[in-house]
Structure 1
């Protein structure tokens, strides 16, 4: 260092002299700024990279649309419950008739009344709406033909000996045809109605079906 320049003068890295103004305070020593420590946890991780993400909400979860959809589904199920329940009762009545041979005359009368009441209620309350809204052509014609055939089988069963072979044969045919008719009602008719009308109208149809069915059954089986 040149002694004439004094200790306040210093050289830069490029070899040039630095001349401070007279009376200026000396420069503080240069220090390296320390980088801030990275944050920990989900928030810090999310800022550093996209590797951490908040779990995505399932479609419709905790939303008003999901609650509305479940509520409408519940209304639909409640509206169709009387029809589905009666279908189950008819299937159970068929099983009892096939197993309990000594009680067949009484069980046949009970089954016939239940079947006719169901068919009448379905024709008056469901099929008239299905005639306007059916998605499958020809379904009403098929249902009417099946209804007549089932009623004929019931009449023929009442005319034969409950303990004879002919009764067993007719009962097998009735069981197959009635179960097919009820399966079509469950798989085609009710879904078509559910798609065609709103929940409120569907509830009205279910209630009307149940009222008509009860009235027909009471007329056929008084007391």
Structure 2
């Protein structure tokens, strides 16, 4: 695979930004583009959570930034769910879209200034290439999923990434509530 995991993540970031621009500038495309956006962001997030964040935390010394990034993923999932449930022709759509854009833009800026440079500085080129393959495989596996398709196992991974304890005995709904509560603090 060409490049490394940082390159792949940043390519997705640029594509999400392009989709945001399209959604803002061309309201007539919204009905068709919202599922594309939610699918891409969901697959991207799940691949980062499963493959990249654990390595960034344990191998690159980025545990605090990973925990913060994971909380932002939980927030983005909530906003994606809200956007997907909002009529693209309603007045509310623009506000929900802008809330999502603001949250994701903030997340991308932090990730690209903290976590991703930490990966490049602390992991070998070989390891970054391994993570690229793992990220791409995981991302492909999750394409087509929506934020609501999250499994209990994925929620457990989010809890580990966010350093949230006391979740092993929780059911899916309680675990998701706890993660959302932690993310909103």
TM-score of the pair, normalised by structure 1: 0.60
State the 1:135 CA deviation.
4.1
Q: Indicate which of 67, 78, 89 corresponds to 2:3.
A: 78
SS in 1 for 2:27: coil
- Pairing 1:191–2:117 present: yes
- Pairing 1:154–2:80 present: yes
RMSD across aligned C-alpha pairs, in angstroms? 2.0
Mapped contact 2:69–2:111 kept (Cα < 8 A): no
Mapped contact 1:146–1:177 kept (Cα < 8 A): yes
Q: Indicate which of 18, 35, 41 corresponds to 1:115.
A: 41
Q: Please say which structure displays the higher CA radius of gyration.
A: 1
Alignment CA distance shift 1:219-1:166 (3 Å): closer
Residue in structure 1 matched with residue 56 of structure 2 by the alignment: 130
Q: Indicate which of 126, 139, 155 corresponds to 2:65.
A: 139
Alignment CA distance shift 1:214-1:158 (3 Å): same
State the 1:89 CA deviation.
0.8
Residue in structure 1 matched with residue 153 of structure 2 by the alignment: none
167-176 vs 156-165, which moves further:
156-165
Mapped contact 2:38–2:84 kept (Cα < 8 A): no
State the 1:206 CA deviation.
1.4
In structure 1, runs of 5+ residues without a counterpart are: 1-74
State the 1:133 CA deviation.
3.4
How do residues 33-44 of structure 1 correspond to structure 2 at under 5 angstroms? Answer: none
TM-score of the pair, normalised by structure 2: 0.71
SS in 1 for 2:28: coil
| Number of corresponding residues | 145
Output one character per residue of 1:90-147: Cα deviation in whole Å (capped at 9) or x when no partner.
Answer: 1111111112212212110100000001100111111011121354552222112111
More helix by share: 2
Q: Give distance in 2, aligned partners of 1:162 and 1:109.
A: 11
Q: Identify the structure with bigger relative contact order (alpha carbons < 8 Å, sequence gap 6+).
A: 2
Residue in structure 2 matched with residue 96 of structure 1 by the alignment: 22
